[in-house]
Structure 1
Amino acid sequence: MLMPSIFGENLFDDFFDYPFVKNEAESNGLMKTDVKDTEHGYEITMNLPGVKKEDVKAALKDGYLTISATSDSKKEEKNDKGQYIRRERYTGSCSRSFYVGDAVTEEDIKAKFENGTLKMLVPKKEEQTAVENKKYIAIEG
């Protein structure tokens, strides 16, 4: 059963307030990404609200930069007698991948996580075409 929304807010937003459960439009900015093309490279800014630095991982494999985040939250509310009124636990993860090219290495990428925002600088590198090295076979005779 769908519940009515009041001023764009769902009545149960506080009850089901987990960033990984909602769809992307309602995710409160989770993993919303801006990619800015600059003269020297790309600036990637990604919102990761409620995620700690140690729960964010960035990996580079086969020219793809993959950023993943995990969240583990626990909410408890007790009354005056110490009895639970509400107790919730949630664990979830999400990731995004970007093709940056095979010429970029882990050492080239600079990353900084501050106040729930991940900023990465990925340099532009042109992939160099392999130069064909001709090897000759010695012919005896």
Structure 2
Amino acid sequence: MTQLTRWNPFRAARLEPMTTFDDFFRGLGNRPMWRDLDIAADMRIDVTEDEGSFSVKADIPGVDKKDIDVSVEGNQVSISAEVKRETSKKDEDKEICTERYYGKVYRAFTLPSDIDSAKADARYDNGVLTLTLPKKKNGSSRKVSIS
């Protein structure tokens, strides 16, 4: 199980408010890796196939369905989404820790056979995008609307 991560050299040596000066140097050599790395958001998918179609389930939590874009061209499927962060905080609110991701995610993949994009269906419910992609011998290109 590998996951691409981004290393931020400026974050590795930051001082945490609840540690003492001695604790900072004591744990310098054996600090956990997860503390020093920024983990980029990813889109996890499951693809299944039956005789007539492919089924794709993509986990995209925290996204409004109007911010998801699905396109099918031949046997190429691409999914992009934008996670937006609410910025309505009060002046006296102070962020202690922020780990939730916001930004754009994108995933593209190729299926073994062409898709009938006119009959493709997309549904988004409880953070899971479900695509039903019927197979076709001669592919075409079309944007898929999400219901």
TM-score range, shorter chain: 0.5 to 0.7
Q: CA deviation at 1:54?
A: 1.1
TM-score by length of 1: 0.59
Cα offset for 1:77? 5.8
Partner of 1:125: 136
1:104-140 CA distances to partner (integer Å, 9 max, x unpaired)? 3432211110000000111122249xxxxxxxxxxxx
| Matched residue, 1:69 | 81
The answer to which structure has the higher helix fraction is 2
Change (3 A) 1:90 1:119: closer
Higher strand content, 1 or 2: 1
Q: How many residues align?
A: 110
- Deviations 1:14-60 (CA, angstroms, capped at 9, x unpaired): xxxxxxx624xxx4xx4100001112211100000111111111112
- Bigger radius of gyration: 1
Q: Where in structure 1 do 4 or more consecutive aligned residues deviate above 4 Å? A: 75-78, 87-91, 100-103
1:97 counterpart letter in structure 2: A
* Distance of aligned partners of 1:90 and 1:32 in 2 relative to their CA distance in 1, 3 Å threshold: closer
Q: Give the TM-score normalised by the residue count of structure 2.
A: 0.57
1:47 is the counterpart of 2:75:
no
Q: Measure the CA separation in 2 of the matches of 1:37 and 1:101.
A: 10
Map 1:1-141 → 2, pairs under 5 A:
1=12, 4-5=31-32, 10=34, 22-23=39-40, 27=41, 30-61=42-73, 63-74=75-86, 83-86=92-95, 91-100=102-111, 103-127=114-138
Q: Which has the higher contact order (CA 8 A, sep 6+)?
A: 2
In structure 1, stretches of 5+ residues that fail to align are 13-20, 129-141
Runs of at least 5 residues in structure 2 that lack an aligned partner in the other structure: 1-11, 14-27, 140-147
- 8 Å Cα contact 1:67/1:96 also seen in 2: yes
Residues 64 and 101 in structure 1, CA contact (< 8 A), matched pair in contact too: no
